[in-house]
């Protein structure tokens, strides 16, 4: 199925000459093609059939034990000038990177099939969407890309019509950790990935295209490519507000995207709609608002911790037609991970389960599933114009200091709030408690250019759009003196989202503080929630001395990006610091 687009056909021919595959297959995205790939992988052992009575259409993939996660230290942004990649990225010159990668790709597909995957990130007819072509020798990648993107004939037709696309070249190679690199060439709209079969390294439409390359595209074209969920909150009157939210890992993104309202809210008629759980592309519309699409068509979610108590919607989503990666298996061949009932008999490596070997399911084990299977999936996810964003939310895991919720004063203050966000580590993860890792906009591993330029791009939207979303910061993880969480979280987070919507609609006054606006007494609906007034006071408290130290640390963090930090952002940091100092004098 050769391409009518000369540049695409020429590139495919060049890759074939370099990698020397036994055959070339152009993917059409059809059901028949998918079933053929599944049968092929069942025969080779790349897939294992799971219990088709309990999990119809579900299969297990076990990756090489050395190949189970993204490899940030082997991920490079290759810009002509090192300064443009920024201190937030590893850099290699484009010439050196191409030479290194092409030496690895030389003859690497001999005896293998080379798959050509045309795909579209976002609804196939949306002007906000962008297309790409991934060339790979992995049928597992093809099967996953079919679920995660709009892949196949329709995408190829759009590519041939538009004439532009992101080029992604991938090979699993020998799966040698010493011969594993992921290179991004933003100026060339090109990705080269070698030596890994793992999702984020191999499904090039996901983090590589939809964030690292797209963030650079977005800067040039006047939009935003962000590591954010998109969720719709429908009130009893049938009005829906859409919220985009950025959290670092382990802070509940997927849970918030699929939130189940508390019983009282459900009875009143509140509904939650899932548009996306991981990536959000936003662009100013003709009416001055930001409109967002989810560029992905599926979920590539972390399995451990997904349970009936934490996220029943996710559990229902993955009950059929799902590819599981590196989970454990029960005696009757059902997928299993920590947090589920029952017992595993085989661990993620296929060994008889022994607690001495560690968790049964790999902590980063995954599920790949169509978003349309989610019980709360929003049909608006397919709208070509996207959904209008009423609020942008930043948040992290902060055991102290940061209130449950506060609203930024204006857009520039909101950009500072996003730039300063971070999460504190736990002893279980690092051996050190309370180490704050700043992760601006949750984009630290994914921003494809200098963070200083990225903050400036965010600030530029003040001039581009006049009805920008309000910006908030949340912290579901504040703890009391006993070390227990003060806020129940999960479905009760809707109470906080309701206050945000009240602020958007001008129904809540709030209480001004130097760091932003917090809910005034009585504005958070706490009916049927067993939480003491003193606890709420603690959740919303603003510790002057603690925040003065925090603003000092934020200033040092911004300074670490050198001369490219926008003066506007530094002025905003100084404004908040001065407001805190004044308050400390008067109180």
pLDDT for the residue numbered 276:
98
Predicted confidence at residue 585, as pLDDT, reads: 85
User: CATH for 226-296+380-586, among 3.90.230.10, 1.10.10.10, 3.90.228.20, 3.40.50.720?
Assistant: 3.90.228.20
Annotated binding residue 252: yes
Please provide the CATH number assigned to the domain covering 298-373. 2.170.8.10
Neighbour-count burial of 570, counting CB atoms closer than 10 A to its CB (0-12 exposed, 13-18 middle, 19+ buried) = middle
Q: From 469, 493, 482, 487, select the one nearest 531 (Cα to Cα).
A: 487
Q: Which fold has domain 6-47+70-222?
A: Phosphoenolpyruvate Carboxykinase; domain 1 (3.40.449)
pLDDT of residue 425: 66
Check whether 16 has a pLDDT greater than 70.
Answer: yes
pLDDT, tens only, 172-212: 999 999 999 999 999 999 999 999 999 989 999 999 999 99
Q: Does 396 carry a binding-site annotation?
A: no
Return the higher-pLDDT residue of 71 and 498.
Answer: 498
What was the pLDDT predicted at 69?
A: 86
Question: Confidence class of residue 429 from pLDDT cuts 50, 70 and 90?
Answer: very low
| Tokens representing residue 189 in the block | 């709209």
Contact 251, 211 (CB under 8 A): no
- Give domain limits for the chain: 6-47+70-222, 226-296+380-586, 298-373
Mean pLDDT of 377-403: 97
Pairwise CA distance, residues 170 & 191, whole Å: 8
265 marked among binding-site residues: no
Residue 467 marked in a binding site: no
Q: Is 28 annotated as a binding residue?
A: no
Residue pLDDT, tens place only, 547-565 = 999 999 999 999 999 999 9
Residue 239: the pLDDT is 97
The response to whether 365 counts as a known ligand-binding position is yes
pLDDT at 432: 61
| Cα separation, 112 vs 123, whole angstroms | 32
Look up residue 563 and give its DSSP letter. G
* Residues 262-291 as b or e (16 or more Cβ within 10 Å = b): beebeeeebbbbbbbbbbbbbbbbeeebbb
Residue 461, marked binder: no
Q: What is the pLDDT of residues 71-117, one digit of tens each?
A: 889 999 999 999 999 999 999 999 999 999 999 999 999 999 999 99
Q: Rounded to 5 degrees, what angle do the CA atoms 425, 551, 553 make?
A: 50
pLDDT at 428 over 50: no
pLDDT at residue 427 greater than cutoff 50: no
- Give per-residue pLDDT as tens, 300-313: 999 998 999 889 99
Q: Which of 408, 412, 439 is nearest to 423 (CA)?
A: 439
- Residues 220-242, mean pLDDT to the nearest whole number: 98
pLDDT, tens digit, 9 for 90 and up, residues 467-484: 999 999 999 999 999 999
Is the predicted pLDDT of residue 1 greater than 80, yes or no? no
For the cut 80, the answer to whether the pLDDT of residue 431 exceeds it is no
Q: 434 falls in which pLDDT band (50, 70, 90)? A: low
Q: pLDDT for 134-147, tens place per residue?
A: 999 999 999 999 99
Give residue 4's pLDDT: 85
The neighbour count for residue 361, using CB atoms within 10 Å, is 27
Band (584; pLDDT cuts 50, 70, 90):
confident
**Does residue 198 have a known ligand-binding role?**
yes
Instruction: Indicate which residue of 58, 251, 374, 447 is catalytic.
Output: 251
**433 pLDDT band (50/70/90 cuts)?**
low
pLDDT of residue 222: 97
Q: Name every residue whose Cβ is closer than 8 Å to that of residue 330 and which is 6 or more positions away in sequence.
A: 336, 342, 343, 344, 345
Residues 541-551, mean pLDDT to the nearest whole number: 96
The question of whether 447 is a catalytic residue gets the answer: no
The residue with greater pLDDT, 310 or 55, is 55
| Residue 461 near residue 467 (C-beta atoms within 8 A) | no
Q: Is the pLDDT of residue 37 over 80?
A: yes
Q: How much is the mean pLDDT over the chain?
A: 96
* 364 labeled part of a ligand binding site: yes
**Same fold yes or no, 226-296+380-586 and 298-373:** no
With 50 as the cut, is the pLDDT of residue 332 above it? yes
Burial pattern 475-512, b for ≥16 Cβ within 10 A else e, equals: bbbbeeeeeeebbeebbbbbbbbbbbbbbbeeebebee
- Ligand-binding site membership of 193 (annotated): no
């Amino acid at each position: 199925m050769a391409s009518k687009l000369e540049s695409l056909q020429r590139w495919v021919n060049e890759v074939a000459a370099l990698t020397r595959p036994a055959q070339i297959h152009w993917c059409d995205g059809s059901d028949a093609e998918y079933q053929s790939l599944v049968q092929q992988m069942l025969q080779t052992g790349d897939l294992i059939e799971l219990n088709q009575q309990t999990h119809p259409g579900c299969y297990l993939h076990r990756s090489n034990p050395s190949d189970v996660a993204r490899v940030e230290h082997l991920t490079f942004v290759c810009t002509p000038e090192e300064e443009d990649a920024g201190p937030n990225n590893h850099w290699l010159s484009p010439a050196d990177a191409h030479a290194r990668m092409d030496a690895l790709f030389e003859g690497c597909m001999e005896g293998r099939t080379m798959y050509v995957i045309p795909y579209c990130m976002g609804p196939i007819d949306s002007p906000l969407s962008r297309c790409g072509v991934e060339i790979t020798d992995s049928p597992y990648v093809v099967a996953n890309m079919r679920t995660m993107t709009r892949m196949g004939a329709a995408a190829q037709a759009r590519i041939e019509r538009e004439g532009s696309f992101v080029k992604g070249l991938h090979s699993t190679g020998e799966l040698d950790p010493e011969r594993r690199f992921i290179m991004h060439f933003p100026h060339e709209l090109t990705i080269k990935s070698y030596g890994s079969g793992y999702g984020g390294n191999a499904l090039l439409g996901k983090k590589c295209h939809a964030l690292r390359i797209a963030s650079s595209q977005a800067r040039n074209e006047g939009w935003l490519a962000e590591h954010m969920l998109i969720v719709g909150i429908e009130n009893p009157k049938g009005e829906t507000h859409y919220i985009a939210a950025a959290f670092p890992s382990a802070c509940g993104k997927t849970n918030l995207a699929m939130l189940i309202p508390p019983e009282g809210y459900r009875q009143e008629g509140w509904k939650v709609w899932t548009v996306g759980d991981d990536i959000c592309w936003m662009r100013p519309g003709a009416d001055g608002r930001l409109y967002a699409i989810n560029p992905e068509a599926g979920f590539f979610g972390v399995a451990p911790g997904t349970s009936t108590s934490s996220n029943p919607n996710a559990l229902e989503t993955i009950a059929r037609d799902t590819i599981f990666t590196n989970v454990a298996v029960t005696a009757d061949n059902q997928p299993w991970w920590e947090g589920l009932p029952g017992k595993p008999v085989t661990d993620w490596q296929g060994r008889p389960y022994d607690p001495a070997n560690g968790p049964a399911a790999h902590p980063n084990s995954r599920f790949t599933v169509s978003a349309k299977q989610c019980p709360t999936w929003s049909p608006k996810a397919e709208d070509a114009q996207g959904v209008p964003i009423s609020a942008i939310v930043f948040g992290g895991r902060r055991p102290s200091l940061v209130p449950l919720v506060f609203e930024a004063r204006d857009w520039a203050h909101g950009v500072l709030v996003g730039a300063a966000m971070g999460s504190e580590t736990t002893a279980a993860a690092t051996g050190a408690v309370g180490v704050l890792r700043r992760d601006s906009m949750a984009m630290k591993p994914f921003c494809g250019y200098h963070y200083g330029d990225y903050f400036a791009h965010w600030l530029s939207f003040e001039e581009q759009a006049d009805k920008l979303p309000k910006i908030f910061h949340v912290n579901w993880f504040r703890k009391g003196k006993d070390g227990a969480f003060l806020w129940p979280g999960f479905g009760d987070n809707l109470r906080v989202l309701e206050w945000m919507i009240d602020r958007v609609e001008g129904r809540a006054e709030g209480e001004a503080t130097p760091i932003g606006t917090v809910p005034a007494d009585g504005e958070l609906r706490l009916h049927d929630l067993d939480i003491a007034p003193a606890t709420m006071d603690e959740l919303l408290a603003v510790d002057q001395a603690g925040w003065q130290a925090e603003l000092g640390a934020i200033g040092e963090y911004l300074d670490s990006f050198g001369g490219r930090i926008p003066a506007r952002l530094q002025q905003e940091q100084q404004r908040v610091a001065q407001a805190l100092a004044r308050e400390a004098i008067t109180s």
